[in-house]
Amino acid sequence: MVHENQPSATALMTKALHPQVRRLIPIATALLLALLASQALSLLNPLVARAYSCGNPSSGHCYGYNYWSMPSGTKGAGTDIVVVHLNCSSCWSLGETGFIDNEMWFSNYNNSGCSNLGNACWVEAGYETVSGAFSTTVNYFWADNRPGHGFSAHVLAQVPSGDYGNSAEFSIWQTGSGTWAVNITSPNYNYSNSSTSNSMVPNAILIGQELAGTSGASAPIAYFTNNWYYDSNWNFYYQGYEGGVTSQNPPSAWWDTDPHNSSSGGVFQTSCC
């Protein structure tokens, strides 16, 4: 029980402080309040929709990704992505094809066989929001852009509720001439298929987030770990260095743990918006 005349612990601490220090307390409090406000905004960031320009042929989509330039003929790539709650609730109501995803691209740039495909061929896999006539769902997906065959995107199963908060592994590797296995493995979903008739010669691996549309998307922080590749001789390696990071804000992308300081390819992060 505290007596009325008994000084409180705070009062005693205040009295014990040097007068100059005491004068700094209100200033320090104000600075901390400002810091707290910025931190709170940062935490709320994924929940607060904001306008962006990521949805037409002139502006293109927006990206937050890491780009590794690889030796031509790299055989495979993989990453584990924590499955987070992507949201794109108003993307469709605007009559746009808005979406947001987290994914990996295994790409071949500057290949003459891909000249009519934006000078790039690729196989990509991840999870994304898909808006239909009645709802927006979050689905696993993969896609390929193949020499002579064009672009195809496969909309797979909706992400099972038990996968949220857990890692899903996405891997792509060559299984034969012109054939690339696509695998998705999560606690509640296993998927395998192949990109066939695909003569790409990969020379880049990218991991990150893609954003399309003008508003309404959000995504909490997702982590990309166990970033690995097979070299042209089928030797397995974890990535050992940071590639080039593109962060168009939105989406935001950054390295939390540099691969150089990690034995499993580092920890990359994305978030939006």
Partner 1 sequence: MHKPLMPALGLLIALVVFVGWIAVAQSDPASAASSNSIQPPAQAPTGTAIGAPAIQPTRSVAASDLSTPAFTVQDVEQYISGNPMSRNLAISSKPTIVKITFITSQQASALLDESMDLPDSALVCYVELSGTFTFPGPNGATATFHKGYEVFDAHTGNLIMVGGR
The minimum distance between CB 119 and partner 1, in angstroms, equals 7
User: Of residues 4-33, which lie at the interface with partner 1 (CB under 8 A)?
Assistant: 8, 10-11, 13-15, 22, 25-26, 28-29, 32-33
User: Of residues 175-194, which lie at the interface with partner 1 (CB under 8 A)?
Assistant: 189, 193-194
- Give yes or no for a contact between 200 and 151, defined as CB atoms under 8 angstroms apart: no
* d(C-alpha 207, C-alpha 65), whole Å: 5
Counting beta carbons within 10 angstroms of the beta carbon of residue 241, is it exposed (0 to 12), middle (13 to 18) or buried (19 or more)?
A: exposed
Of positions 95, 112, 177, 263, contacts partner 1 by CB under 8 A: 95
**In this chain, which stretch among 72-80, 124-132, 169-177, 234-242 interacts with partner 1, using CB under 8 A?**
124-132
Specify which residues 122 forms β-bridges with: 107, 145
By CB under 8 A, residue 96 contacts partner 1: yes
Of positions 90, 113, 185, 221, contacts partner 1 by CB under 8 A: 221
- Give yes or no for a contact between 216 and 94, defined as CB atoms under 8 angstroms apart: yes
By CB under 8 A, residue 41 contacts partner 1: no
* d(C-alpha 38, C-alpha 16), whole Å: 32
Which of 159/273 has CB closer to partner 1?
159
Which of 109/234 has CB closer to partner 1?
109
**In this chain, which stretch among 71-79, 153-161, 168-176, 234-242 interacts with partner 1, using CB under 8 A?**
153-161
Counting beta carbons within 10 angstroms of the beta carbon of residue 39, is it exposed (0 to 12), middle (13 to 18) or buried (19 or more)?
A: exposed
Counting beta carbons within 10 angstroms of the beta carbon of residue 34, is it exposed (0 to 12), middle (13 to 18) or buried (19 or more)?
A: exposed
**In this chain, which stretch among 71-79, 90-98, 169-177, 227-235 interacts with partner 1, using CB under 8 A?**
90-98
By CB under 8 A, residue 226 contacts partner 1: no
Find out whether the peptide bond into 251 is cis, omega within 30 degrees of 0: yes
User: Of residues 228-267, which lie at the interface with partner 1 (CB under 8 A)?
Assistant: 246, 256, 267
By CB under 8 A, residue 99 contacts partner 1: yes
